Structure 1
Amino acid sequence: AAPGTAADGGRGSIHILSQSSATEEKRPQFGTRFLTDPRQVFQHNAWDNVEWTEEQEAAAKSKVQENSQPLPLEKQEDFDSRANEYWNDFYTIHENRFFKDRHWLFTEFPELAPAYLHDQRANPDSAGIHHSPQSSLDPSGDVARLNLTDFPGSSATYRILEVGCGVGNTVFPILKTNNDPGLFVYCCDFSSTAVELVKTNPEYDAGRCFAFVRDLSDDSAAYPVPDGSLDVVVLIFVLSALHPDKMRASVGRLARLLKPGGVMLLRDYGRYDMAQLRFKKGRCLSENFYVRGDGTRVYFFTQDELHDIFTEAGLEKVQNMVDRRLQVNRGKQLTMYRVWIQCKYWRKPEEETTTT
């Protein structure tokens, strides 16, 4: 897989949409806690959908421009060629102590939750993503269509792939909450160290999960599943780790793995996120693309850029939204503006494609 940061909007230090307490377990999707009185900013740890002033956006653009002088080409090429080394070092240093499970996953991406599969079986139109007749809900038709029965999870009725799985922050919550016998989860990462940490986790179940090493940027490499076999592909803070020149081909390759009716889910860094504004001079590789102190890289997207990438891959938009959040450190009386983009794009069923 391409390098998976396995870090939620801040390399593990900040939970994107924390639902760690029982009282927050039924929290609706983000966008419900608004800051209407600036004097109350330190009453909560975070505020949703914070509107930026023109001055604030101008200051962010100025800051990015100030630190946007790219490194020499030979240094850029060095970071590209040694990307695997840097990510292996990252996971060797941090192992699994650095990360928390992403409990917000099932709120923002119900396609990963047990109730979604149950609802789809009861009413295929209930969840908004309409599966084709030969989707995962019909395993016999699925296997017949693929004409393959010897790949990992070939007998499954619902298949999820996470690309850039890190140490399993998405995979293990899915496996723990979903005991549906028809579920099979694939996960891959660029880092062999990360994949080994997943495989040695006591919750790894080879009967329900298959972890493997994969360089997402190599769009010619084979996957352990045939094209048209996956219901869901998950990209969480991973596409931003690729070189911008390799993003379109990589997403195009993943899109071919989706069944008609399958969906690709993405959560990643948005333009002018706090992490981008914190980069100093000498860390810029190219426009909106940076290298961290540990050698790992990160890109900051706009909605339009991601829309173009997904539609060029033959997918259609279900969701493309910006999550602007104000994180608050009440102890230090500090405010931090985060910008993330969340997308859902799907492969339209063939019969719908021909009739529209």
Structure 2
Amino acid sequence: MRGGQYPTVPHSPSISHVPSFTASITTIRRLHRHSHPTALKARCYSLALEDHYQKKATKYWDEFYKRHQNKFFKDRHYLERDWGCYFAEEDVSPKRKVVLEVGCGSGSTLFPLVAAFPNLYVHACDFSPKQLILLRDDRVNPFVADVTDDALCDHIDPSSVDVVTLIFMLSAVSPKKMPFILQNIKSVMKLNGYVLLRDYAVGDFAQVKLQNKNQMIGVDFYVRGDGTCSFYFSEDFLSTLFLKAGFNTLNMNTYCRQIHNSYRKITMNGVSVKLCKIFKVEKTLIMSGSSRRRFCLSDKRVRAPLTNFEFSELIVSEAPLDKPKS
């Protein structure tokens, strides 16, 4: 910058105009911080960056899995301990429990579950086709789908899934795409089914590092050095997100832990936070046929699941439901 002047942000921003990712993010944050007259244009610039990385998400995740194969994420055996009752109970589907793993990656979630619970049949979807080749099992149905755009019921029968798992998946997409994902998931769930969610929360040490590196492209939304993105949830944001989608929050758990670096001889307090939520489908909502293309609704009127959150500690009353439009 010369003469203390802020750089001019293009009226129709394009990623091709960005000479340096770090420099562009630094500019955006500075404009917002000083309430500069071009702050609105800077916001458009920020949205353009966010759209760019979301459109290229498949490319960046393909490169990620090509580089790490199936060695980056450890098998999540703790899910059997924490959520085993939701996969083992027989009151919903006595013969076979149907699970949908959204954003399955290399199978670090589904393989431990399939090994521990012989009654499971798992639909596994991911928008990166490279890892689906590794998911070969008689009880696994892998398919390529972008849940931010593709209708899940093009691959799965409506109202056929008992349990949906969202394990560090929702944080990888833009916040503005999350409402559609929730509606997409509901279209394939049974009544009395569950959604199990675990993800990053505000305060995670990884968020602090990304913020210090000026990697922010939106509120609590960051891009890593490899081009993949990560959103960090607050309890209020997550509860509001599901409430607006027709879910009612009953319970929520936030987990914190310390990380001790023996080499540097430092302890980082409260730097790793995980949000853990369980949602139970208990009601129905009549929806109009205008949504058929995306949510598998008939030309007339059909019932789509409406869910409640169910947790072990915090309990709140059920929120009133708006009367659906005809």
TM-score, length-scaled by structure 2 = 0.69
Report how many aligned residue pairs link the two structures: 245
1:191 to 128, 131, 135: 128
Give the drift of 1:349: 4.9
Contact 1:83 1:296 in 2 (8 A): yes
Q: Give the match's secondary structure for 2:108.
A: coil
Q: Determine if the alignment matches structure 1 residue 241 to structure 2 residue 176.
A: no
- Counterpart AA for 2:164: V
Query: CA–CA distance in 1 between the matches of 2:194 and 2:153?
Result: 20
Q: Determine if the alignment matches structure 1 residue 175 to structure 2 residue 175.
A: no
Q: Determine if the alignment matches structure 1 residue 107 to structure 2 residue 41.
A: no
Structure 1 stretches lacking a partner, 5+ long? 1-64, 125-134, 138-155, 199-203
1:95 to 51, 65, 69: 69
Contact 2:153 2:187 in 1 (8 A): no
Query: CA–CA distance in 2 between the matches of 1:230 and 1:67?
Result: 47
Query: CA–CA distance in 1 between the matches of 2:86 and 2:68?
Result: 27
Give the drift of 1:296: 0.2
Q: Determine if the alignment matches structure 1 residue 264 to structure 2 residue 195.
A: yes
Structure 2 stretches lacking a partner, 5+ long? 1-28, 34-42, 285-305, 307-317, 319-326
Matches within 5 A, 1:291-310: 291-310=223-242
Q: Which residue of 2 aligns with 1:10?
A: none
Give the drift of 1:331: 4.4
Give the drift of 1:76: 2.9
2:280 to 331, 346, 353: 346
Contact 2:152 2:184 in 1 (8 A): no
Q: Give the match's secondary structure for 1:319.
A: coil
- Which protein is bigger by CA-based radius of gyration? 2
Deviation digits for residues 117-161 of structure 1 (CA, Å, limit 9, x no counterpart): 2xxx3xx4xxxxxxxxxx423xxxxxxxxxxxxxxxxxx631011
Q: Which residue of 2 aligns with 1:218?
A: 149
Matches within 5 A, 1:49-198: 72-113=46-87, 116-117=88-89, 121=90, 124=91, 135-137=92-94, 157-180=96-119, 183-198=120-135
Deviation digits for residues 238-269 of structure 1 (CA, Å, limit 9, x no counterpart): 10011110001111210222111101010001
Query: CA–CA distance in 2 between the matches of 1:99 and 1:230?
Result: 25
Higher RCO (CA < 8 A, seq sep 6+): 1
Q: Which residue of 2 aligns with 1:250?
A: 181
Deviation digits for residues 60-94 of structure 1 (CA, Å, limit 9, x no counterpart): xxxxx899987644433321221110000000000
- Counterpart AA for 2:93: S
Change (3 A) 1:86 1:322: same
Query: CA–CA distance in 2 between the matches of 1:68 and 1:190?
Result: 34
Query: CA–CA distance in 2 between the matches of 1:93 and 1:175?
Result: 26
Q: Which residue of 2 aligns with 1:230?
A: 161
Contact 1:252 1:312 in 2 (8 A): no
Query: CA–CA distance in 1 between the matches of 2:30 and 2:273?
Result: 20
- Counterpart AA for 1:165: C
Give the drift of 1:191: 0.7
Contact 2:47 2:218 in 1 (8 A): no
Contact 1:91 1:193 in 2 (8 A): yes
Q: Which residue of 2 aligns with 1:25?
A: none
Q: Which residue of 2 aligns with 1:276?
A: 207
Q: Which residue of 2 aligns with 1:286?
A: 218
Give the drift of 1:225: 1.5
Change (3 A) 1:179 1:305: same
Contact 1:159 1:230 in 2 (8 A): yes
Contact 1:269 1:341 in 2 (8 A): yes
Give the drift of 1:281: 4.0
Change (3 A) 1:94 1:75: same
Q: CA RMSD in A?
A: 2.5
Q: Which residue of 2 aligns with 1:153?
A: none
Query: CA–CA distance in 2 between the matches of 1:96 and 1:283?
Result: 26
Q: Determine if the alignment matches structure 1 residue 320 to structure 2 residue 294.
A: no
Q: Give the match's secondary structure for 1:217.
A: coil
Query: CA–CA distance in 2 between the matches of 1:105 and 1:209?
Result: 18
Which is richer in strand?
2
Query: CA–CA distance in 1 between the matches of 2:182 and 2:32?
Result: 26
